[in-house]
Amino acid sequence: MSKIQPAKVATVDEVKARVDATTTAVVTEYRGLTVAEISNIRRQLRTLGADYKVFKNTLVRRAVAGTNVEPLTQFLEGPTAIAFVEGDVSAVAKALRDLAKASPKLILKGGVLDGKALTPRDISALADLPSRDVLLAQFAGALAAPLRTMASLLKAVPQNFAYGLSALIDSKGGPVATTPVVTDEPAAETPAGVEEAADAASDDAATPVAEVVADVETPVVEAEADSEAPEGVASEPAE
């Protein structure tokens, strides 16, 4: 039994290293494509996180035996090139589909995704999926929607309460003013003649009262004096 040539050993090790890095791969047939066209495909897929390269089928079968990528061996017929995908698989599938439409010589044969074989129809379905960035944005939007709704509800509660309170006050005739009205106009002064007339009137009003009191008290004093005269002393006759 002959030993495997070092170049073939290197190829097997290279495929094993790529299988260790990813469990997703797409197998294509490149029959009739030029070296320039293959290089162009490689450049476009590299920007999407995929490494596209031509391998010998026998070496690939040996390298993937017993791994999650082994189901792709059923597509290893004829001249094949494999795209090992480490980025967005849907973006790579879409790019390969578009390239195949532009160049009919590029044929999508199948692939493998997380240990499951992919048919050409499966690859086309992956190509129709939104990209990873779009899916993440949609997922983030779905998570944020309930939070925005809750924030709106929390904001609406005090607003509705304020509106209801305002409507209640309006229905009762409006708020009651508790602050005294302050004006800048000075208080009106009383004329000097009016004040003097008022003082004079108060003096005139007090005088008759004093006189009446004096008139009332005088006979009482005189009567008391007459009643206290000593016995045996005759009162003076009236002239």
Tens digit of each residue's pLDDT (9 = 90 or more) over 187-212: 555 555 545 544 544 454 444 544 44
What single letter denotes the amino acid at residue 202? S
Write the pLDDT tens digit of every residue in 5-46.
Answer: 888 889 899 999 998 888 899 999 999 999 999 999 999 999
Does residue 82 contact residue 55 with C-beta atoms inside 8 Å? Answer: yes
Sheet holding 24-29, edge to edge: 50-54, 80-85, 24-29, 107-113, 116-118
Residue 128 has pLDDT above 70, yes or no: yes
In the prediction, which pLDDT does 131 show?
Answer: 59
Given phi > 0 = left and psi -120 to 50 = alpha, else beta, which region is 65? beta
Q: What is the pLDDT of residue 87?
A: 85
Can you tell me the distance from the alpha carbon of 29 to that of 109, in angstroms, rounded to the nearest whole number? 7
Cα distances (angstroms) measured from residue 41 to each of 31, 75, 92, 104, 105: 14, 20, 11, 13, 12
Longest dimension (CA), the chain: 190
pTM above 0.75, yes or no: no
Residue-range domains of the chain with CATH: 6-134 (3.30.70.1730)
